[in-house]
Every structure is written in structure tokens, then in C-alpha cells.
Chains A and B, each alone.
Chain A
Amino acid sequence: MLATARKGLVESLQNNLEVEGRSLWQDAWRRFLNNRAAIASLFVLGFIALFVLVAPMLSSYAYDEPDWGAMHAPPSWESGHYFGTDALGRDLFVRAALGGRISLLVGILGTLVAVLIGTAYGAIAGYIGGNLDRLMMRWVEILDSMPFMFFVIVLVTIFGRNFLLIFVAIGAVSWTGMARVVRGQTLSLKNKEFVEATHVYGLPRLQVISRHIVPNVLGLVAIYATILVPGMILFESFLSFLGLGVQEPMTSWGALLNEGAQTMEVAVWQLVVPATMMVTTLFCFNFIGDGLRDALDPKDR
């Protein structure tokens, strides 16, 4: 559902995002700066990123050290457990930061893989066209009709022990939306003068794609990426729900959230801490995505 709704969203905006002159990026940047929600989100996200990087150094506790005397301890300044502890007495302040690293890493890594494959695939299919295009898009169609969950469960059991690899793998099967969008954009670029001009010089096709097509779809790619990242983070939390998430004692926001959902009546901070952080992050990505879209799509103004 996530993936399909996402696809529709992008398709709807793809039609609007016309390629314009050089000043597009400058204009877009100016418009983006005027979007208060997006800028605020950027700052909040920066703060969260800083937190997940720095917080473990600010605490005297280790993320993997159980304390049998302090299980389910509520947040307190005196004890140094600023966010309380979990079921094993491990410090949540540190674990939330560590979990954030994993969740963000997973989101970015998965997205990066999806974006790289999707952009290249879409640009090649769209630019070269003909039978190759038809074949490539048929393949995308097949992947799209395959249940995502099936793919992921099988990948998890095959790559079970390397969590990051799982996300590279998930990225490698969730690029189809990206490919469709980029292909569509490439088709419309193909007939623009500046691209047709390259034929006169006889530039090799791959060079045309990398120098002239790809730079011109980057805006779209950026918007799509801000939608993919939260999707990946949410998907990680779904895997944690199934018990197929990151290996202990390492954690992720999804894993913490799932533990918190079990203990919310006993230790509400175990739910509130990861929930606040994850939801804030996803909100930020959302607003930044909106900001980018508005900035790159002047017609909405």
C-alpha cells in the first residue's frame, strides 16, 4: 500500500515537473528557503542526526550492558538514565541514539540503492526506447506484481545474518517506482532541443544519458528519495514486528518501538521515546519532500 500510494503521488507530480532553463535550481532553492515547514524540518532532522551521533558519548552507559537491578527504570536525571531503561535495564538514551543510527542508515542505504538502480534503469529504458524499453518495462511490471512481503521474507532468510545487506537487497527490489518516473521524464526530455543537438555531435548514447538526461531528472529523483527514506524506515519497523529485524544487542527505532508497544502499560517511556523520535523524523522527511516538490514545481504557487 505504501509503495503503490507513493507511486501515484510521484506520477501525479511527474507530469507537472517540466524541464526548464539553468536558473531552475537557483529559483527552486530560493523557493525552498521560503518554505518555513521544510526549513524547520531540515533543522530538526539535523538535530536528530546530531543526537544519534553524539548522544552515546554523553552517557556513561553502554548500549549493550544489561543492569539486572534497574530493569524498566523510569527516566531520571539522578541515575543518568535520561530516557529510562528497557526490559533488561539497558539505557534507553543510548539505545535510542544507536537505534536511530540504524534506522537512518537503513533508510538512506536502501534509498541510495533504489535510486541508483532506478535512475539508471529508467534513463536507459526511456532514452534508448524501442524493444529494449518494452522488455525492460515488462520486467518492471513483473517485479511490481510480485508481493513485496514475499520477496523480503525470502531475502531475510537468505541474508539473515547481515542486516545491512538485507536493506541493500530491499533497495534492490524497490526501485521500480523510481525507474518508471525517470523513464517518463526521459521520454519527454528526449525530444528537447538540447538533447537532439547532441545527435549532431554524434555523442555516444551512454554519454548522453549520463551528461544530459540524468542531471535533468535529479530534481524528481530528490523528491522521490525523500518519500523513499521514510518508507524504508517504516519497513524496517515492520520487519522488527515480525521478529526479523536487526540483531541484538544492536537495535533500531522499529525494534524499540515494537518492544515499547508490548510494555506500554508498564513502562510508557519505552514506547514514547522511540515513537517520538521516529515519528518526528518521518514528519521531517515528509515536509522536506513537500518543500522540494513545491520548490521544483512552480505551477503550484
Chain B
Amino acid sequence: MKMALKLAAVLGVAIVAGGFVLDRAAQATAEPEKQPAEDKVLHAYGDTLILKKEPVGGMFSHKSHVIEYEFSCDTCHPDLFERKRGAAKASGDYNHPSMEEGMYCGACHDGDTAFDTVEEGNCISCHGSDMVEPETIVFVKPVKAVIFNHTEHTEMGFDCASCHDELFEMRVGAAEEKPEEFTMAALYDGKYCGACHNGDDAFASDTLCTTCHIGVQGFERIHGGEGKAAAEEH
């Protein structure tokens, strides 16, 4: 009797499991039919986003050109763009005048085939669509670390041109690329922050050091956890 029960139980499990496997197999065979063909193509090309930082930040979506407009590789390569990362930038003439002459993007972006590169309303299509205004910037060179509250300054009513590009290039990390120039001595000469932080327009750069200098401990707090940093920084 006991044996019979055991047998029945084992059989039962086997039947259920078998049914499940069969079901899965049926689903697997059905799946490729359900999958849209476009997705497959999209996957094959990858969702490449090319973020250009030189000479100014701009974004080119490889995906939208290849998938949405169905260009083949030879539409652009190698005649307009060498098939090598950074090649256009290295050529030295990858700029708006060239585009207006019909080179690079300008081959299509001439106002007829695609939106032109001149009209003001078009700028944001390539520049700015992904350029997010930073809330705070933490400089780590030449000393670690200095905090700059970007939001606080823009909320004071400054526009972009107040600081960019004369005092600071509008590019993350630009000032830090020249740590030997981005010094307190430069600030005292009226460069960088020193243009306003001179004692007349804003507190002088040679006072209240720790207002901006958050130090290594402050830096580690910010990178150790956002919540903790936010609690400390006001």
C-alpha cells in the first residue's frame, strides 16, 4: 500500500513537471514569431549614443540615423566620416563652417534633406538636449575638494554668459585641466571665481576658506552617499 502511494506521488510529480516543460517548449517556439522584426534589427546595431565633447558638447544619435532613417553604413562611412572614433575631431575642421560647406553632418543637414545647422532653433537638437545644467560642481584639482553650488548662482539671476565662457569654459572639468592656473593666486587676480569674489561684489577669495573648501572629508561624504551629503551641505 505504502509503495503504491509513493509510486503514485512520484508519477504525479513527473506528470506535472513534464507538462510544465512541454508548456515552456511550446512558448519558446512561439516566441520568435511574436517578436517584432524591428527589435531584432535594433538589437543588432546597439543603442549607440555618441557624445561629442569637442569643440563643444554635442550629441549624435547613431541609432536614430541607422534605425529610424534606415541608412546603410556607406551613407556616411567612409566618405563623410572615417570609421574611427575621434577621427573627425582630429581632422581639425570638424566645425560649423565646414558643415555649412556641406562637409560632415552638413552633407544632409542643409535645410533640404534634413534640418540645417544654422538656424537658431536647431541648436538644441544636437547641443543641449542632453547637456544638463549641474546643480553642484565639486572640483578636485588643484586641491581636494572645492564645492561650487551652480544652482545657487543661477538663481541669483546670472545668465550663462556671466561666467561662460570667459571665466569658465562651459564644460565639466575644463578648469581642472589646468590645475597650475586654477589657483587661489589666480582668483586674487580676478580670474575664475575671483571676478566676483573680490570683497566688493561677493566675499573675498582670501576669506572664509571653508565655505567652498569642503576638504577630503566633504568629498568622501558626497561620494559615500547622497543622503548624508545633502543633510550636511546646508
Q: Tell me, yes or no, whether A binds B.
A: no
Residues of chain A touching chain B, judged by Cβ–Cβ distance below 8 Å, are none
